[in-house]
C-alpha cells in the first residue's frame, strides 16, 4: 500500500472528521406530488407514441403479407422471369409490326 501515508490519505482522514450534513433530508413541500404527477403524465400514451406503435405493427403485418404473397405465387413469379423476354418484345412491338407490313 504505497499510498498509505500519502498527502491524499492524510487529507481524506482529516476530511472524514467533518461533521455530517445537517441539512433537512425530508422532501420539500409538494415535491412528491409534482414527481408522481409528472411520472403519471409520462406513462400516459400520447398520440405520437400510439401512432408509432401502430405503424410498427402495420409494418410487421405488411412484411408478413408480402412474404406470404411471394411464397404462394412463387411458381408464377419464377415463370415470369424464365419467359424469353426477346420474343415477348418482338411479338408485341407495334413498330416492328408496322415495318413488316410496309415491307410486304
3 lies in the binding site for another protein (CB under 8 A):
yes
Minimum Å gap between C-beta 41 and another protein is 10
Measured CA angle at 50 (ends 47, 51), to 5 deg = 85
Task: Tell me whether residue 27 or residue 77 sits nearer to another protein (CB atom).
Answer: 27
Minimum Å gap between C-beta 42 and another protein is 6
Please enumerate, as own/partner, the contacts of 30-33 that have beta carbons within 8 Å and a separation of 24 or more: none
Q: At what angle do helices 74-82 and 47-72 cross, to 10 degrees?
A: 70
95 lies in the binding site for another protein (CB under 8 A):
no
How far apart CA 65 and CA 53 sit, in angstroms, is 19
Task: Tell me whether residue 23 or residue 87 sits nearer to another protein (CB atom).
Answer: 23
Among residues 21, 20, 22, 4, the alpha carbon closest in space to that of 12 is found at: 4
42 lies in the binding site for another protein (CB under 8 A):
yes
51 lies in the binding site for another protein (CB under 8 A):
no
Binding site for another protein (CB under 8 A): 3, 6-19, 21, 23, 25-28, 31-40, 42-43
Amino acid at each position: 500500500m504505497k499510498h498509505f501515508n500519502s498527502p491524499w490519505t492524510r487529507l481524506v482522514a482529516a476530511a472524514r472528521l467533518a461533521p455530517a450534513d445537517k441539512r433537512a433530508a425530508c422532501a420539500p413541500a409538494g415535491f412528491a406530488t409534482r414527481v408522481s404527477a409528472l411520472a403519471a403524465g409520462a406513462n400516459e400514451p400520447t398520440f405520437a407514441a400510439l401512432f408509432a406503435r401502430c405503424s410498427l405493427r402495420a409494418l410487421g403485418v405488411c412484411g408478413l403479407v408480402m412474404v406470404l404473397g411471394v411464397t404462394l405465387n412463387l411458381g408464377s413469379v419464377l415463370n415470369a422471369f424464365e419467359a424469353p423476354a426477346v420474343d415477348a418484345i418482338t411479338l408485341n412491338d407495334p413498330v416492328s409490326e408496322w415495318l413488316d407490313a410496309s415491307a410486304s
